[in-house]
Amino acid sequence: MRLSSNSFQDGSRIPARYAAGQFDGQGGVTFSDNVSPHLAWSDIPEATNSLVIICHDPDVPSKGDDVNQTDREVPSDLPRVDFIHWVMVDLPPTLREVTEGQFSAGFTTRGKAGPATLLGARHGLNDYTGWFAGNADMSGNYFGYDGPFPPFNDSILHHYVFSVYALDLANLQVEGNFTGADVRAAMTGHVLDEACLTGIYTLNKRLA
């Protein structure tokens, strides 16, 4: 399989319009356009019965003690963990692309609706659900795509890996408000092929 995008090139910086956070022009950060990017794939195995899209950031700090503190940076040697930004299952096997903005155009406080979405597919919860869980103004179920918003003081560039998986199943066996972890577990043994595309993003002015 091959994966490409008109929104950004593999290994390049992701434009701010596809992020959830951006510089506010006054020395701080604010919400951005949060537009889901264009993705196109080819060379799908003939036995494919459905497609899955996952976007994750493997560079999220494993501890929040230093996150978004103005007097210091998050250490580069701090262990990192995954953060799921998008998970969508049951896309039809005949589909060859999703268009820019098709699944997100703006950041929705308390999260976009789901799991049902376009094309007969289903959206899972992204990890902003957990991130905002303790915030009375922002808590909710965050379905679908919500893009990059890394700590403004992180000392490393964050990588955003967009992956498309071809499955031998027509409907993935996940139910309710499923997560990226649920999908990864359910896909085990059913992936015929996959392709990835990686972009980078930062809100650290020193790195930008």
pLDDT digits (tens, 9 = 90+) for 131-147: 999 999 999 999 999 99
Among the residues of the chain, which ranges form H helices?
128-131, 180-187
What's the CATH code, domain 2-201? 3.90.280.10
Residue 107 neighbours by CB under 8 Å, 6+ apart? 20, 31, 32, 34, 146
Percent with pLDDT over 90 in the chain: 99
User: pTM of the entire structure?
Assistant: 0.97
Confidence of residue 186 (pLDDT cuts 50, 70, 90): very high
Domain borders along the chain are 2-201
Question: CA–CA separation, 21 vs 148, rounded Å?
Answer: 6
Mean pLDDT for the stretch of residues 90-112: 98
In the numeric block, the tokens 């007097």 are attached to 71
In the structure, what pLDDT confidence band is assigned to residue 78 with cuts at 50, 70 and 90? very high
Classify each residue of 54-88 as buried b or exposed e, where b means 16 or more C-beta atoms within 10 Å of its C-beta: bbbbebbbeeeebeeeeeebbeeebebeebbbbbb
